[in-house]
Amino acid sequence: MANSIPADSEALLAAYSGKVRVRIGGVLLRDGALLLAAHRGLLPDSASFWSPPGGGWQFGESIREALVREFREETGLTVQVGRFLHLHEFSTDKLQALELFFEVIAEDAAQPRLGHDPEHASHQQLLTELAWLTPRQLLQLPPNQVHPVLQHLLSPDDVFVPQQRFA
């Protein structure tokens, strides 16, 4: 991840700047591909940043409740939360988050649809796209466009090896 956010994205990311956040993300695997969400505003030249669906942990809810809520908001899917997978410290000059990633399970027949961030107006959404991407497809993207917990995957099984990554 770049050390700074593009100047034209500062207003878009103002709600998250200068605060420490706890983010919860879900890793959903289907037919060898991971369901990922593209985010705008984090990289120069309007490049997409691909990461597992998820978002902020809110006061009064459990971590698992937060993940179920965030996954439904971003993908329309209702998921069951599985095992803990990764702990990652995310940091730029304006953004800082502790990210917890869990395996999630969804109904096989359920199809994801691009949701929204309720924190943002419709014209200021960070989410731009959902896609099923294989590890091979992720390796073909520039590394700064792929969340660090997903970089260097050689197999779908690699994402399920618990690890800690600190910036």
> What DSSP string runs through 119-140?
TS-GGG-SEEEEEEE-HHHHHT
Banded pLDDT at 162 (limits 50, 70, 90) = low
Identify whether 1 is part of a domain.
no
Task: Return the closest-CA partner of residue 130 out of 27, 26, 37.
Answer: 37
Burial (CB count within 10 angstroms: exposed 0-12, middle 13-18, buried 19+), residue 24: buried
Identify whether 93 is part of a domain.
yes
Identify whether 167 is part of a domain.
no
Identify whether 95 is part of a domain.
yes
- Tally the C-alpha atoms within 13 A of residue 139's C-alpha that lie toward its C-beta: 9
Residue 102 belongs to domain spanning: 7-159
Identify whether 68 is part of a domain.
yes
Domain count, the chain: 1
Tokens linked to 114: 């691009």
Percentage, residues of the chain above pLDDT 90: 50
Query: pTM for the whole thing?
Result: 0.81
Which CATH number covers residue 74? 3.90.79.10
